[in-house]
Amino acid sequence: MATFTDSKGREWDLVFTVPKFIKVCRKLKLKLNQLLSMDVELADLVESLPLILEKQLKERGIPATQFFEELSGDDVTAAMQAFMEMVAEAFPEASKENQGGPFVHGS
């Protein structure tokens, strides 16, 4: 399971599910090949975090706006590494095709 710990010491689990995948792809207007190759703007990936962490945020009583405000640069880096790990775990064969490493475009 892909996880990251933020600067406040909270551990977040990024778990792939079909409903989350659909939400992220619709929100970011992505096709599967774009997600697998990480041909996505960094800001869009960060914006997708509350969709992936929706249940955990709700359980902890943290609104998405507060979650964003509390993220440090290091937190974003850790979250994006976990995001890439989550995608690789969900699509292992497709991820092998992208062995050169995923590339996330800056915004």
Write out the chain's pLDDT in tens, 107 residues.
Answer: 899 999 999 999 999 888 888 888 888 888 877 777 777 788 888 999 999 999 999 999 999 999 999 999 999 999 999 998 998 888 887 655 554 444 344 44
Tokens of 88: 């690789």
Please choose, from the candidates 52, 63, 62, the residue with its C-alpha nearest in 3D space to the C-alpha of residue 85: 52
Buried b (16+ CB within 10 A) or exposed e, 72-85: eeebbebbbebbbb
**What is the model's pLDDT at position 5?**
96
Number of Cα atoms under 13 Å in the Cβ half of residue 107: 8
CB 88 within 8 A of CB 95: yes
**What is the model's pLDDT at position 7?**
94
